[in-house]
């Protein structure tokens, strides 16, 4: 059995759709229970205050992969342990076949420098029909974007110079920030919103589960990630469809093996937490099987680096106040946050292409346009509520597949017109 076949050998039936333009590979997905809320205690693995050994990194990566997929002791070695000449190369697909960038292909390009501000985020929310609620603190991510200075952390300011790029599953090439709407300032952290190559490669070999979180609005609550290892992280709250790549170390819309998995309504637990490994001089530089991760780590149980700044800017207590005898519970646990994820290109268009008003609907959008979408998709009356959540995403993915389109999950102007309504 080949490595590419081993993941499929461990698959079981569940609702899914092909991510490619052509036919699906079958109703096969990982048999996961997705209980990423659990994890090791502090004495099982050391806090990442000092450089970790390869053995410790292996244990961390095993722990980070989606659980209940395989006996992790069967993992022989991760991507970073393989001879460099033998490592399969990860890559980000070209814009015309990227789930994230296909709707924008021809409008934007990597390497565009622009000014990011609260006004930029307001326009982004409006053009994607995002209802961000009343909270003064909003968390956001820009996939494929970095600060021009290259810093891990940029403190709260009304404006920041940033530049668009493309992720590569090896380096952290995304921004995750805090938008304080009370004074309209942003603070920015270097991070990643895509899984890292070690866990993508392990997934192809059938050893762990791995996914990529689609863009949109996601809800989080403060709580531990991996028990005592990362107290005061942010835990995902709403089920959705996620992207999987069972045979490739890339996520491409023309890959016939790529799939959208609905997890039968379970959470993928793509949490927001510390990257842990960003201090290293060689890969891996972050640990994520789909989580949103921020430069930084813990030292003696205390967040340090950009991760510490991010938590404080979000209004969390620093250092975390740990509940006595708990597995990583803190005094901030249960606090709710809205996080929206888009691409750097979408943000750059607002300033670099003011003549182009790119609008879209996607997971987390809401309002009359979503209700019109649900009606055109002929969803059941009880599901026509104007909220683009798991059921609507699943119906729209099916519509795209039936039409022979790239199954992106993003409703653009042209797709809305084909469905018979307007954005």
Tell me the residue range of the domain where 239 lies. 1-358
Q: Clarify whether residues 345 and 390 are in a common domain.
A: no
Q: Clarify whether residues 328 and 248 are in a common domain.
A: yes
pLDDT of residue 416: 97
Q: Tokens standing for 190?
A: 């270097």
Alpha-helical (H) ranges within 249-343 are 306-313
Q: Clarify whether residues 384 and 284 are in a common domain.
A: no
Q: Clarify whether residues 283 and 371 are in a common domain.
A: no
Among residues 310, 325, 358, the one where a domain terminates is: 358
**Cβ pair 63, 178 in contact under 8 A:** no
Q: Clarify whether residues 76 and 156 are in a common domain.
A: yes
pLDDT of residue 69: 60
Q: Clarify whether residues 186 and 70 are in a common domain.
A: yes
Q: Clarify whether residues 264 and 350 are in a common domain.
A: yes
Whose CA is closest to 20, among 238, 245, 220, 179?
A: 245
Q: Clarify whether residues 400 and 302 are in a common domain.
A: no
pLDDT of residue 50: 59
Q: Clarify whether residues 401 and 273 are in a common domain.
A: no
Q: What is the pTM of this model?
A: 0.90
**Mean pLDDT, 10 residues at a time, over the chain (423 residues)?**
40 59 32 30 39 90 75 74 93 95 84 96 98 98 97 98 97 98 98 97 90 98 92 97 96 95 93 96 95 96 96 97 84 97 96 89 98 98 97 98 95 96 95
pLDDT of residue 217: 98
Q: Clarify whether residues 352 and 406 are in a common domain.
A: no
159: enclosing H helix or E strand: strand 159-164
Among residues 335, 358, 381, the one where a domain terminates is: 358
Q: Clarify whether residues 335 and 409 are in a common domain.
A: no
Q: Clarify whether residues 321 and 388 are in a common domain.
A: no
Among residues 358, 380, 400, the one where a domain terminates is: 358
Counting beta carbons within 10 angstroms of the beta carbon of residue 181, is it exposed (0 to 12), middle (13 to 18) or buried (19 or more)?
middle
- Could you give the CA distance from residue 215 to residue 221 in angstroms, rounded to a whole number? 18
User: What's the structural domain count of the chain?
Assistant: 2
């Amino acid at each position: 059995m080949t490595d590419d076949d081993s993941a499929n050998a461990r698959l079981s039936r569940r609702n899914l759709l092909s991510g490619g333009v052509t036919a699906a590979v079958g109703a096969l997905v990982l048999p996961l229970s997705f209980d990423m809320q659990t994890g090791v205690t502090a004495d099982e693995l050391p806090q990442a205050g000092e450089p970790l050994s390869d053995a410790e990194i292996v244990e961390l990566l095993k722990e980070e992969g989606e659980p209940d997929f395989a006996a992790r002791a069967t993992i022989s070695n991760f991507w970073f342990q393989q001879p460099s000449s033998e490592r399969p190369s990860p890559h980000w697909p070209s814009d015309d076949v990227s789930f994230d960038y296909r709707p924008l292909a021809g409008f934007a390009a990597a390497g565009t420098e622009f000014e990011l501000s609260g006004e930029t985020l307001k326009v982004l929310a409006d053009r994607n029909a995002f209802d961000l609620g009343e909270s003064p603190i909003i968390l956001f991510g820009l996939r494929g974007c970095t600060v021009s200075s290259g810093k891990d952390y940029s403190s709260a300011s009304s404006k920041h110079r940033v530049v668009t790029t493309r992720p590569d599953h090896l380096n952290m090439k995304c921004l995750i920030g805090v938008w304080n709407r009370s004074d309209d300032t942003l603070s920015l952290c270097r991070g990643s919103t895509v899984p890292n190559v070690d866990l993508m490669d392990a997934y192809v070999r059938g050893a762990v589960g791995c996914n990529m979180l689609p863009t949109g609005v996601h809800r989080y609550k403060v709580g531990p990630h991996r028990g005592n290892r990362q107290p005061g992280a942010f835990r995902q709250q709403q089920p959705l469809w996620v992207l999987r790549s069972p045979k490739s170390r890339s996520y491409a819309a023309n890959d016939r093996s790529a799939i959208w998995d609905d997890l039968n309504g379970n959470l993928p637990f793509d949490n927001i937490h510390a990257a842990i490994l960003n201090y290293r001089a060689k890969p891996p530089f972050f640990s994520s099987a789909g989580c949103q991760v921020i430069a930084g780590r813990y030292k003696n149980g205390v967040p340090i680096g950009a991760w510490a700044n991010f938590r404080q800017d979000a209004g969390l207590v620093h250092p975390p106040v740990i509940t006595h005898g708990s597995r990583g519970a803190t005094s901030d646990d249960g606090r709710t946050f809205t996080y929206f994820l888009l691409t750097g290109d979408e943000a750059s268009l607002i300033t670099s292409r003011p003549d182009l008003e790119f609008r879209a609907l996607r997971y987390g959008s809401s309002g009359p346009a979503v209700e019109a979408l649900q009606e055109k998709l002929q969803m059941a009356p009880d599901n026509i509520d104007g909220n683009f959540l798991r059921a609507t995403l699943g119906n729209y993915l099916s519509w795209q597949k039936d039409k022979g389109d790239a199954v992106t999950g993003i409703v653009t102007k042209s797709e809305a017109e084909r469905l018979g309504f307007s954005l």
